[in-house]
Amino acid sequence: MAAIASTDASPSARGDAPRISFVSLGCPKALVDSERIITSLRSEGYELSRHHEGADLVIVNTCGFLDSAKAESLAAIGDALKENGKVIVTGCMGAEPEQIRDVHPGVLAVTGPQQYESVLAAVHQAVPPTHDPFVDLVPPQGIKLTPRHYAYLKISEGCNNRCTFCIIPKLRGDLVSRPAADVLREAERLVGAGVKELLVISQDTSAYGVDVKYATSQWKDREVRARFLDLARELGSLGAWVRMHYVYPYPHVDEVIGLMSDGVILPYLDIPFQHASPSVLKRMKRPAAQEKTLARIQAWRAACPDLTLRSTFIVGFPGETEAEFEELIDFLDEAELDRVGCFKYEPVAGAPANDLGAAIPEEVKEARWKRFMEVQQRVSARRLRRKVGTRQQVIIDSVGPTVAIGRSKADAPEIDGHVHVAARRPLRVGEIVTVKIERADAYDLHGTAVGF
């Protein structure tokens, strides 16, 4: 995912506040980093500019996950240099600064992912702050790049797994979990500021707390363990929708399903399975790959019939045979996942997977991807049709002249489908309404608001 996030600034009382143009590329985790940097800059009196031209400085938060993302990052840096000239680079690509300096020797500074202090130091050096605490008030929840009614909540950095196609542990290091009380304080501030939906993210959400041996921290009148189940329960008590992303099917995930059927957190699990053939999963070194996935899915659905399962897969992994691909297709047919994304394998420089088997020719990858999508589209459409005639709670994301666009509990922002809502009164962004579902198409639902 890539997002340009040159956020507009509120006009300052001073005419001379330094102005910064910000480009945020990459995944939601990178977006959270961008939000933190911007929050700090705003608290120091910097303003944000919509355009590179006329700004005092440009910051580019890069993504280095795939070669295509790196190319996009390098192009964004090139544009910033051309249009402005003063550029600081941060984010995943910053972990290997020579990749940037070889192409763009003119950048002022390069810092790596989560190096907030280094980014700020580089900004101070290039454009010193003119801080006025009476003017530069930042709202207590920080500056959000997501709409006000939902927010990403990052619970840890890094990853202890070593999936062979991924260089994130190399870029971001091993798992470092935030204390539970820290996460809860941030979540409470966000909810207090009007956020209605918290999207819990990390590289491996179900591994939360493993690195700190599930240490407890003081939250209100009680001690809370840094453990997936305990954190989920506490987050669910804050009064917002809580949606879990990047969960691996470790055995203890079963316990969280109970919180979903009890309505404490959303009945939604985003589990990046990536493949279904045991031999490919082994070559990928995927976490929890040995678990009996189909049986687990059936048990989860029996315990929580409303559960939505989203996943992502990779086709054309090095050495993937026709038989292994067929195993994946059979899994799709049986697992009946609700929402699925599929990527054609792309070799990432430095990833061990590139040497694990023969590269799959592009036309074979393409054919497998098409077949995969056809099968999954049928499954997804079938599952969506079952919702016709039901009533769903829908959070409104945007409003148009006749129809508002929202999402049900089954739809995460940016990656899943929408619900198109007709209503007899104007709806507000962030409002949660009950919608009677009248129609389904391949990805979206359509209905009428019946409860406000």
- Our CB check for ligand SF4 shows the closer of 124 and 162 to be 162
Residue by residue, DSSP assigns 123-148 as HHHHS-----TTT-PPPTT---SS-T
Which residue's entry shows tokens 């019946």? 450
Provide the minimum distance between the beta carbon of 161 and ligand SF4 in the complex, in angstroms, as a whole number. Answer: 4
Tokens coding 258: 């109970």
For residue 218, how far is the Cα from the chain centroid? 28
Based on CB atoms, which residue is closest to ligand SF4, 25 or 166? 166
Which of 45/287 has CB closer to ligand SF4?
287
Q: 372-397 burial by CB neighbour count: b if 16+ within 10 A, else e?
A: beebbeebbeebbeebeeeebbbbbb
Minimal CA–CA distance to 207: which of 286, 305, 313? 286
Per DSSP, the three-state class of 368 is helix
Match 């990749």 to its residue by tokens.
Answer: 99
Backbone angles phi, psi at 254, to 5 degrees: -55, -35
**Crossing angle of helices 322-335/362-385, nearest 10°?**
10
Dist. CA 346–CA 175, nearest whole Å: 25
123 CB contacts (<8 Å, ≥6 apart)? 20, 41, 46, 57, 59, 88, 129
What DSSP assignment string belongs to 227-241? -HHHHHHHHHTTSSE
- Long-range CB pairs of 103-112, under 8 A, 24+ apart, other chains included: 103/74, 103/77, 103/78, 104/74, 104/77, 104/78, 106/81, 107/77, 107/81, 108/57, 112/171
H helix runs in 240-361, sequence order: 253-261, 278-284, 293-303, 322-335
Would you say 80 and 52 are in contact if contact means Cβ atoms under 8 Å apart? Answer: yes
CB of 423 to ligand SF4, least distance (A): 40
Q: Which residues lie near ligand SF4 (CB under 6 A)?
A: 159, 161-163, 166, 168-169, 203-204, 287
Rank residues 32 and 168 by Cβ distance to ligand SF4 and give the closer one. 168
Kind and range of the H or E run holding 312 = strand 308-315
Annotated binding site for [4Fe-4S] cluster: 27, 63, 92, 159, 163, 166
Cβ atoms of 33 and 171 closer than 8 Å: no
Q: What's the closest the beta carbon of residue 252 comes to ligand SF4, in angstroms?
A: 16
Phi, psi of 150 (to 5 degrees): -140, 155
**Minimum Å distance from CB 208 to ligand SF4?**
13
Q: How far is the CB of 155 from ligand SF4 (least distance, A)?
A: 14
Considering the complex, state which of residue 101 and residue 162 has its C-beta at the smaller distance from ligand SF4: 162
Q: Which residues make beta-bridge pairs with 341?
A: 312
**Binding-site residue set:** 27, 63, 92, 159, 163, 166
The nearest distance, CB 166 to ligand SF4, in angstroms, is 3
